Amino acid sequence: MQILLAVYTGFALLLSLIYVAIILVYRRGWQQLQEVAAPDSDYSPTTAVSILVAARNEAEHLPACIASLKAQHFPAELLEIIVIDDHSDDNTAEIAYTAGVRVVKLADYSDRGSKKRAIEKGIALASGILIVTTDADCIAAPNWLRTVVHFYETRHYKFIAAPVNFHKERNTFERAQSLDFLGLMLITGAGIQKGFMHMCNGANLAYERDVFYAVGGFEGIDQLASGDDMLLMQKVALQFPGSLGFLKSRSATVLTTAKPTVKSFIYQRIRWASKTNSYSEFLITAILAAVFLLCCSIVFSALLIPFAGTTAVCLLLIQLSVKALMDFLLLKPAAVWFGRQELLKVFLPAFFGHILYIVVVGILANLVFNYEWKGRQVR
């Protein structure tokens, strides 16, 4: 028993040290990432842009999204907005028609629906050189598109990831999600800056239309419910190394809302985790595995207390202290940079919630193969 306990203790402490190294690398990468301001008022873009919004049952959110897109400070002759209705059961398409944007009904082309199919059809019908994607439940500030296109025209990246934040939080649960998501944005930017991992969010992406076809679009990853963002990005990174960038700009940030219930939150994270085995970058999988194992070991150390007494208590306190310190070092600069310092007030519940959801989602992602998303059974 003592030997097994010693081995486990060593393993748990090693995981803590690995976590320290991971967080410090991310923090350093974020610090090295250059901040980008909105372009000057005399900037005149020259790139034709197609904004794609794949929407399924988004009648509630779509009007505000379209209004924010139509309010962009961008030349009308260079911009088209395309809403792709993915077999909605509500009046999503009618709302888009009424708003005066281009509407594509996926049902007119395919009896099967998915976000990837919707984006594929949107790209096929788009006229823009640069494809920009966002989600129907997102709001973009007026200088969002100008900032994205200026970054594209001056840096010449083929694939650009930009920040997504939450807003309008109503309770501690939603504020904890928001704080967690700020950390995810820091990790995303730092990983791209360091060049060792490519993550992104489909709610705020830009890439060349020709590049999408050059990498074969979603071929090879179209069987997954998720992955229209990260898996595509990793395909681009493999074929066009060094041509991807993260736009660290407040004016290029789009806003969405946190999940209102624990069930919807867990299903969202399971959907995200379902693509892990398809990552082409081993380091991402290794880092995710290390974080999962650390969280599992923290839970296991707590369960071990009745059997190992003081040793388990001391180990648990060390693990919790190390993770809490590293998490705070990660989240504070993100909260400060995005101007959301008030979210640090929920750091403790977010910290313990993070441990639990990493364990739960990590397990369920390998057990739950079918779940409901927007009224559709997906795998």
- Indicate the DSSP class of residue 91: S
Is pLDDT at 369 greater than 70 in this prediction? no
- Tell me the one-letter amino acid at 179: L
Burial of residue 76, with CB atoms counted within 10 A of its CB: 0-12 exposed, 13-18 middle, 19 or more buried:
exposed
Question: For the segment 177-214, what is each residue's pLDDT rounded down to a tens digit?
Answer: 999 999 999 999 999 999 889 999 999 999 999 999 99
Question: Average pLDDT for residues 209-237, to the nearest whole number?
Answer: 88
Handedness of CA 326, 342, 346, 258 (dihedral sign): negative
Question: For the segment 98-130, what is each residue's pLDDT rounded down to a tens digit?
Answer: 999 999 999 998 778 789 999 999 999 999 999
> 225 falls in which pLDDT band (50, 70, 90)?
low
Question: Would you say 83 and 101 are in contact if contact means Cβ atoms under 8 Å apart?
Answer: yes
Of the candidates 227, 259, 265, 255, the one whose C-alpha atom is nearest the C-alpha of residue 339 is 255
> 366 falls in which pLDDT band (50, 70, 90)?
confident
Q: Could you tell me the pTM of the whole model?
A: 0.92
> 370 falls in which pLDDT band (50, 70, 90)?
low
In order of 19, 35, 46, 181, 209, the CA distances from 51 in angstroms are 38, 24, 15, 24, 11
Is pLDDT at 281 greater than 90 in this prediction? no
Residue environment code for 231-265, b if the CB has 16+ CB neighbours within 10 A, otherwise e = bbbbbbbeebeebbbbbbbbbbbbbbbbbeeeeeb
Question: Would you say 63 and 227 are in contact if contact means Cβ atoms under 8 Å apart?
Answer: no
Strands (E), the chain: 49-55, 79-85, 102-105, 130-135, 139-140, 159-161, 164-166, 205-208, 244-246, 254-256, 371-373, 376-378
Q: How many CB atoms lie within 10 A of CB 174?
A: 19
> 378 falls in which pLDDT band (50, 70, 90)?
low
> 374 falls in which pLDDT band (50, 70, 90)?
low
Q: What are phi and psi of 107, to 5 degrees?
A: -60, -20
Roughly how many angstroms between the first and final C-alpha of the chain, as a whole number?
42
Question: For the segment 46-80, what is each residue's pLDDT rounded down to a tens digit?
Answer: 999 999 999 999 999 999 999 999 999 999 999 99
| Predicted pLDDT of residue 377 | 62
Q: What are phi and psi of 13, to 5 degrees?
A: -70, -35
Q: Are strands 49-55 and 130-135 parallel, antiparallel or unpaired?
A: parallel
Provide DSSP, 212-226: HHHTTTTTTTTTSSS
Question: Would you say 229 and 162 are in contact if contact means Cβ atoms under 8 Å apart?
Answer: no
Class of the domain covering 35-163+204-258: alpha beta
Q: Are strands 254-256 and 139-140 parallel, antiparallel or unpaired?
A: antiparallel
Is pLDDT at 318 greater than 80 in this prediction? yes
Q: What whole-number distance in Å separates Cα of residue 179 and Cα of residue 333?
A: 11
Is pLDDT at 316 greater than 90 in this prediction? yes
Question: For the segment 156-178, what is each residue's pLDDT rounded down to a tens digit?
Answer: 999 999 999 999 999 999 999 99
Is pLDDT at 95 greater than 60 in this prediction? yes
Question: For the segment 26-42, what is each residue's pLDDT rounded down to a tens digit?
Answer: 999 999 999 999 999 99
| Predicted pLDDT of residue 167 | 96
Task: Please identify which residue in the block is written with the tokens 């066009």.
Answer: 240
| Predicted pLDDT of residue 376 | 63
Provide DSSP, 317-354: HHHHHHHHHHHHHHHHHHHHHTT-GGGGGGHHHHHHHH
Question: Average pLDDT for residues 262-289, to the nearest whole number?
Answer: 85
Question: For the segment 332-353, what is each residue's pLDDT rounded down to a tens digit?
Answer: 999 999 999 999 999 999 999 9
Of the candidates 315, 286, 310, the one whose C-alpha atom is nearest the C-alpha of residue 299 is 315
Tell me the two tokens of residue 272. Answer: 């995200």
Is pLDDT at 272 greater than 90 in this prediction? no
User: Mean pLDDT in the chain?
Assistant: 93
